[in-house]
Amino acid sequence: MALRIIGWGTGAVGREALRAVLDSRSGLELVGVRVYSDAKDGVDAGALLDREAMGVAASADIDTVLALDADCVVYTPRLTSIDEVCAILESGKNVVTTAFLFHPQRIAPVDRDRVLAAALAGGASVHGCGLNPGNLSGALPLALSGMSRTIEKLTLQERADWSVYDSTAITFDNMRFGAPVEEISVTANDFLAFNSAIFTEQVWLLADALRAGIDEVTADVEAVAAQHDHEIFDHVLRAGTTAGQRWNWVGRREGEPLVEIETLWTVGNEYPRHWPKPRHGWTLTIEGDPSMQAHFMSLASFEREASMLEHVNSANVATAMQVVNAVPAVCAAAPGFATIADLPAVRSLIGFGNT
């Protein structure tokens, strides 16, 4: 029998996830959709996903969605809510999410305990993953570490220019690109604090899974001002405002850096001279015996012509598929937390078209 899925959020990532659910070979069935905007309330899910009408009406009413019978919720809102996730878990539905809960053991104990109690009460499990945080900062390094004799330091660098990322609410409202540089800090607003916390959690995940015995993870950010104005979709990023954010989350044991995630993010494509210059995309370096390096990028295709928007969207597809492909394993997992380190390697369900 197909696993029944609710989509919670129909943004760039959520839509890609739900289109995969609609694939008749997926072994998944879409039974509900939670939306936030009034404009989408009551709209048929098919219309939201550029597909034929399918008789599943999206709803902005949480109770209506929670009352549905479903095996798993694909949770991809812009802003997360522990209350919502607890209610979903308590209602007996598993949760896969691209937004948070990547390593719930290391979130604030009060939240951790609530999520765990809700999962146990509902007999459900919760799994957070995606691209980064997710596969590249979790599954991939853990897989490569299988070839390590010793590890001195593990570093993941993400270099990306966000100018072509069309979730501009995240770029400008949440990440505060375009704001004065002095307004960018780890605790400047709830979202930056939240964003920093999820990468901090990811460093803990790797360190815990590799038994690195770190005693702290520090977070630092350097904001860099734009030299020129830039038009980014319907926004203008003004010269002098934030166009670059370099974040470093470093896990240390007795002061020695062992695990680091560094993001080198720009909007407007002005790359600060003094920043490190890995290739665009993600570079994973494991210094040790042996020392290893892997560079990752996703595109719409390496063979056919594709627009920049299609190429950029490939990262949304990757993010979405990482959790959609995990659904059967998460539904089968013991109630509680099912992290990247706990689940068997997540692999494509129907990539080659077979059922």
Helix locations, the chain, DSSP H: 12-22, 45-48, 62-66, 82-90, 109-122, 140-145, 168, 190-209, 308-324, 327-332
Query: Closest CB to ligand NAP among 94 and 319?
Result: 319
Q: Which of 166, 190, 152 is nearest to 315 (CA)?
A: 166
**Judged by CB under 6 A, does residue 101 bind ligand NAP?**
no
Question: To the nearest whole angstrom, how small is the minimum distance from the Cβ of residue 265 to ligand NAP?
Answer: 13
**296 part of the interface to ligand NAP, by CB under 6 A:** no
* Binds ligand NAP by CB under 6 A, chosen from 23, 29, 36, 328: 36
Question: In terms of CB distance, is 117 or 343 closer to ligand NAP?
Answer: 343
As to burial, measured by CB atoms within 10 angstroms (0-12 exposed, 13-18 middle, 19+ buried), residue 304 is exposed
Residues 74-93 that bind ligand NAP (CB under 6 A): 76-79
CB closer to ligand NAP out of 85 and 151: 85
- Under the binding rule (CB under 6 A), the answer on residue 191 touching ligand NAP is no
Which of positions 136-175 make contact with ligand NAP (CB under 6 A)? 167, 169-170
Cis peptide before 133 (omega within 30 of 0): yes
Cα(first)–Cα(last) distance of the chain, in Å? 13
Please tell me the count of residues contacting ligand NAP according to CB under 6 A: 25
Is residue 32 a contact point for ligand NAP (CB under 6 A)?
no
Is residue 312 near ligand NAP by the rule CB under 6 A? no
Nearest of 126, 163, 184, 72 to residue 335 by alpha carbon:
126
Subset of residues 313 to 332 that bind ligand NAP, contact rule: CB under 6 A: 319
Q: How do beta strands 216-225 and 72-75 pair?
A: unpaired
Task: Tell me: does residue 189 bind ligand NAP (CB under 6 A).
Answer: no
Q: Are 336 and 119 spatial neighbours (Cβ–Cβ below 8 Å)?
A: yes
Please identify, using beta-carbon distances, which residue of 11 and 178 lies nearer to ligand NAP.
11
The answer to whether 139 and 346 have CB atoms below 8 angstroms apart is yes
> Could you tell me how far CA 212 lies from the centroid of its own chain?
24
Nearer to ligand NAP, 163 or 335 (CB): 163
Q: How far is the CB of 217 from ligand NAP (least distance, A)?
A: 18
Q: Cβ of residue 124: shortest distance to ligand NAP, in angstroms?
A: 20
115 binds ligand NAP (CB under 6 A): no
In this structure, how many other beta carbons lie within 10 angstroms of the beta carbon of residue 295? 13
- Which residues are near ligand NAP by CB under 6 A? 9-14, 35-37, 40, 76-79, 98-99, 130-134, 167, 169-170, 319
